[in-house]
Chain A
Amino acid sequence: SQTIHQWPATLVQPVGSPLSLECTVEGTSNPNLYWYRQAAGRGLQLLFYSVGIGQISSEVPQNLSASRPQDRQFILSSKKLLLSDSGFYLCAWSVLEVGVATGELFFGEGSRLTVL
């Protein structure tokens, strides 16, 4: 069965410090990978998605970047955090083959980032 791991679960960082959130998926190959941010327990904002190693699409301009160094690893980074980067970050994976999979997302448990 497939599993998704996301860490750290909680992070408190000062403004201007770097960030690295990691996500790995097990039990599937060549998944689509996603980073979402959720502010104040409400809607989901898609930040980045990746269809393959080294292939990153950014949905919104921001202070963050993403990388996919391996097939099942997705990393969210920042060189200098802003107060506005605080939020709940969710990693997810899916399979999106037309006619093969329905494309639902499977989410990690989330990482809560507080920037002070």
Chain B
Amino acid sequence: AQSVAQPEDQVNVAEGNPLTVKCTYSVSGNPYLFWYVQYPNRGLQFLLKYITGDNLVKGSYGFEAEFNKSQTSFHLKKPSALVSDSALYFCAVRAKRSTDKLIFGTGTRLQVFP
């Protein structure tokens, strides 16, 4: 069975500091991995995805994520946080070669303080 874990309910970081939002997954075979962001009262917006190849994936708004197969992780990162990055972030996984639905984590609220 597929699953995703986001171990932190909330991450607090000062503006200008690097940020990391953690995600680990479990899936049979190779995964597709995704990050989404949700601003208050808005739908989820796609940030980035890992399909294959380079383990470091770059996405929208300066975010990047690192795929680590041995640790089954796909942590979201940004070198310098902005107050406007404050939002709810979701990690999601789906097995390649599968028609299974995307499985979402429970979300991590990122709070960037000025």
Binding site for B on A (CB under 8 A): 6, 34, 41-44, 46, 49, 88, 90, 92, 94, 96, 98-99, 102-110, 112
Which chain A positions have C-beta within 8 A of B40? 41
Which chain B positions have C-beta within 8 A of A44? 44, 90, 104, 107
Q: How far is the CA of A41 from the CA of B88 in the complex (A)?
A: 8
Report the interface size class on chain B: 20 to 34
Rounded to whole Å, the gap between the CB of B5 and the closest CB of chain A is 12
Total inter-chain residue pairs, C-beta < 8 Å = 58
- Bits for B20-53, please: 1 = Cβ < 8 Å to A, else 0: 0000000000001010100011111110010100
**Beta-carbon contact of A96 and B99 below 8 Å:** yes
CB contact between A103 and one of B41, B45, B102, B107 (< 8 Å): that residue: B102
Q: How far is the CA of A90 from the CA of B32 in the complex (A)?
A: 22
Which chain B positions have C-beta within 8 A of A99? 97
Which chain B positions have C-beta within 8 A of A46? 101
**Beta-carbon contact of B107 and A42 below 8 Å:** yes
**Beta-carbon contact of B45 and A104 below 8 Å:** no
Rounded to whole Å, the gap between the CB of A27 and the closest CB of chain B is 16
Which chain B positions have C-beta within 8 A of A42? 88, 106-107
Rounded to whole Å, the gap between the CB of B34 and the closest CB of chain A is 5
**Beta-carbon contact of A104 and B107 below 8 Å:** no
Rounded to whole Å, the gap between the CB of A5 and the closest CB of chain B is 11
**Beta-carbon contact of B41 and A104 below 8 Å:** no
B98 lies within 8 A of chain A by Cβ: yes
What are 7 A-B contacts defined by CB distance under 8 Å? A6-B43, A90-B44, A96-B99, A98-B99, A102-B32, A107-B44, A109-B42
**Beta-carbon contact of B46 and A98 below 8 Å:** no
**Beta-carbon contact of B107 and A43 below 8 Å:** yes
CB contact between A112 and one of B32, B34, B41 (< 8 Å): that residue: B41
Q: How far is the CA of A96 from the CA of B97 in the complex (A)?
A: 10
Given contacts A42-B106, A92-B44, 18 further A-B contacts (CB under 8 A): A41-B40, A43-B105, A43-B107, A49-B101, A96-B99, A98-B98, A98-B99, A102-B94, A104-B46, A104-B92, A105-B102, A106-B46, A108-B43, A109-B43, A110-B41, A110-B42, A110-B43, A112-B41
